[in-house]
Amino acid sequence: MLRRLIAAAALLAAALTAAPAAAAGGPLRDLAEARGIYLGTAVTGDRLTGGYADVAADQFGSLTPGNEMKWDAVEPTRGSHDWSRADRVVAFAEAHGQRVRGHTLVWHNQLPGWLTGGTWTADQLRTLMTDHVTAEAGRYKGRVDHWDVVNEPLAEDGTLRRSVFGATLGESYIADAFRAARAADPTAKLYLNDYSIEAVGAKSDGMYDLVKRLLAQGVPVDGVGFQAHLILGQVPASLEANLRRFADLGVDVAITELDVRTTLPATAEKLDRQKADYASVVRACLAVTRCAGVTVWGFTDSDSWIPDFFPGQGAATLYDEDLYPKPAYDGIAGALAPVTPPAPGVCSVTYAVTQQWAGGYTAQATLRNTGTAPLDGWTVRWSQPAGQRVTQAWNTALTQSGTEVTASHLPYNATLPPGGSAAFGLNGTWSGTNPPPTSLICTSGT
Ligand code: 9MR
């Protein structure tokens, strides 16, 4: 509480001095949880003090150590582990009720010098790798929600990357790493993670086929992480469909390293575009049931890898260097805003026989949305107690059972704005008399 008050006071002070972008609701972690996903961030462990720590704790429901769990960080000397930096991030997360995405057990970068400088047979390398997975996943057993077990296994064309692991061990190293991770921590969700697989294309096709092969071999792959290091204005149109096709394989999906870089300087117009980009990635995740959450790769521009790796580019995160929320913050908050289902629309219906002849008739019904919210689907029911039979209907899906008639919307006239109406008609037969319907009612809903 105190932490929140201090953060609120800091934000207020910032508002008075520097007019930060208005933060539309929040904290983001609560908005996300209410929508059934987590919103996480990568952090730099030794920055977890002061305002940086406050924002990390207040706004994010999941932390990914940006570098602290990589092999070079945890085993700088062969056989001698240093868990201190990783421990610190995990302890911080636990103290603030946050999940941890473990990143990463097997990757071709940020390997210890003793490993890259050594000469290993395939068997030796395989054993080193599985021992490492066993040691690290075992150390954090039960405390890591998701592990990026293998990071960036693919080349740009979707084939196996010829990394030290791929080139020496072939694809089987992936299965071995996952099996070792499962044995060491049976409850963590185990992910394959890669970049440039957000759109449907050669690389994501390669990932798709790889996941399929691994699942067919019984390899315990629980999820696929889509890093999403994106360029301003280039959120792939196929992102949602791509996430969905992986989910349909029976794995979870997650956005794991989201940032949206731009050339500097970042103008108001660019930041507005960035806001839309962040929002659309979050919306894509929300739209796919098996999307577990979205992690941003650093939350402040002062803690982003972009300027170092792409000279002249930056401003890729949702807070500026002084920890003021940028429009991207509002974009995420807006996408995560609670969905308030519209109040059920209210409808009225009229029915009139428009033509009648010996044994037959035509009737017309008009349904109107008399409420203040859109009507999302409708059904009209009535009784025709004199034995009339409906023989044909248009602009509605109509069934009759005995004396009871049910007429429902079709896809094209399902939604009616307040005040809007839909008409449908029917032909029927009658004998004796053709009295008007009784119990004529309409109800809203699909
Ligand atoms: O954010 C990380 C940065 O601090 C490191 O210098 C860099 C070194 O490779 O790795 C960055 O994180 C990477 C992540 O581990 C895997 N996907 C790409 C990320 C950005 O390079």
- Express each pLDDT in 44-98 by its tens digit: 999 999 999 999 999 999 999 999 999 999 999 999 999 999 999 999 999 999 9
Of 68, 75, 152, 240, which one is the catalytic site residue?
A: 152
CA atoms of 155 and 385, how far apart (whole Å): 71
- Indicate if the alpha-carbon torsion angle 260, 265, 266, 267 is positive or negative: negative
For a substitution probing ligand 1, which of 197, 297, 300 has the most ligand atoms within 8 Å of its CB? 297
For residue 219, the Cα-to-chain-centroid distance in whole angstroms is 24
* Residue 227 alpha carbon, nearest atom of ligand 1: 17
Give the end-to-end CA distance of the chain in Å, rounded to a whole number.
44
Q: DSSP assignment, residue 413?
A: G
Q: What is the mean pLDDT of residues 113-121?
A: 97
**CA 38 to centroid of ligand 1, rounded, Å:** 21
Q: What is the mean pLDDT of residues 311-325?
A: 98
Confidence at residue 385, expressed as pLDDT on a 0 to 100 scale: 84
* Residue 151 alpha carbon, nearest atom of ligand 1: 16
Lowest mean pLDDT segment, chosen from 171-180, 204-213, 428-437:
428-437
Confidence at residue 444, expressed as pLDDT on a 0 to 100 scale: 84
The dihedral region occupied by 436, where left means phi > 0, alpha psi between -120 and 50, and beta the remainder, is: beta
* Residue 298 alpha carbon, nearest atom of ligand 1: 1
Confidence at residue 142, expressed as pLDDT on a 0 to 100 scale: 98
**CA 305 to centroid of ligand 1, rounded, Å:** 7
**CA 34 to centroid of ligand 1, rounded, Å:** 30
* Residue 42 alpha carbon, nearest atom of ligand 1: 1
> Measuring CA to CA, which residue among 231, 232, 228, 250 is closest to residue 240?
228
For a substitution probing ligand 1, which of 67, 259, 261 has the most ligand atoms within 8 Å of its CB? 67
**CA 192 to centroid of ligand 1, rounded, Å:** 16
DSSP class per residue in 248-314 = TTT-EEEEEEEEEEEESS--HHHHHHHHHHHHHHHHHHHHSTTEEEEEES-SBGGG-SHHHHSTTEE
- Render pLDDT for 242-251 as a digit per residue (tens, 0 to 9): 999 999 999 9
The ranges of the chain annotated as CATH 3.20.20.80 are 2-335
CA atoms of 219 and 214, how far apart (whole Å): 5
Whether residue 33 lies in the annotated active site: no
Q: Which amino acid is at 290?
A: R
**CA 277 to centroid of ligand 1, rounded, Å:** 21
Identify the CATH number of the domain defined by range 2-335.
Answer: 3.20.20.80
Lowest mean pLDDT segment, chosen from 126-130, 187-191, 193-197, 413-417:
413-417
Lowest mean pLDDT segment, chosen from 148-157, 244-253, 378-387:
378-387
**CA 176 to centroid of ligand 1, rounded, Å:** 24
Q: How confident is the model at residue 6 (pLDDT cuts 50, 70, 90)?
A: very low
Q: How many Cα atoms within 13 Å fall on the side-chain side of residue 64?
A: 30
Nearest CA residue ID for atom 16, ligand 1? 151
Of 257, 269, 321, 404, which one is the catalytic site residue?
A: 257
User: Is the confidence at residue 18, as pLDDT, over 60?
Assistant: no
> Measuring CA to CA, which residue among 338, 407, 409, 398 is closest to residue 374?
409
Residue 49 structure tokens: 């003090």
**CA 437 to centroid of ligand 1, rounded, Å:** 70
**CA 66 to centroid of ligand 1, rounded, Å:** 7
Whether residue 152 lies in the annotated active site: yes
- Render pLDDT for 26-58 as a digit per residue (tens, 0 to 9): 799 999 999 999 999 999 999 999 999 999 999
pTM reported for the whole predicted model: 0.76
CA atoms of 294 and 252, how far apart (whole Å): 12
Nearest CA residue ID for atom 3, ligand 1? 305
Burial class from Cβ neighbours inside 10 Å (0-12, 13-18, 19+) for residue 155 reads: middle
Nearest CA residue ID for atom 10, ligand 1? 67
* Residue 104 alpha carbon, nearest atom of ligand 1: 15
173: number of Cβ within 10 Å: 23
Confidence at residue 342, expressed as pLDDT on a 0 to 100 scale: 52
User: Is the confidence at residue 2, as pLDDT, over 70?
Assistant: no
* Residues lining ligand 1, Cβ inside 6 A: 66-67, 109-110, 151, 195, 227, 257, 305
| Percent of all residues in the chain with a pLDDT value above 70, rounded to a whole number | 93
> Measuring CA to CA, which residue among 363, 383, 367, 384 is closest to residue 375?
367
* Residue 70 alpha carbon, nearest atom of ligand 1: 15
The ranges of the chain annotated as CATH 2.60.40.290 are 347-444
CA atoms of 310 and 308, how far apart (whole Å): 6
Lowest mean pLDDT segment, chosen from 260-274, 298-312, 419-433:
419-433
347-444 placed in CATH 2.40.110.10:
no
For a substitution probing ligand 1, which of 111, 230, 305 has the most ligand atoms within 8 Å of its CB? 305
Residue 256 structure tokens: 């794991």
Nearest CA residue ID for atom 7, ligand 1? 305
- List of residues 6+ apart from 232 with CB closer than 8 A: 260, 261, 262, 270, 273, 274, 277
Burial class from Cβ neighbours inside 10 Å (0-12, 13-18, 19+) for residue 142 reads: exposed
Nearest CA residue ID for atom 20, ligand 1? 305
Calculate the average pLDDT of the chain.
93
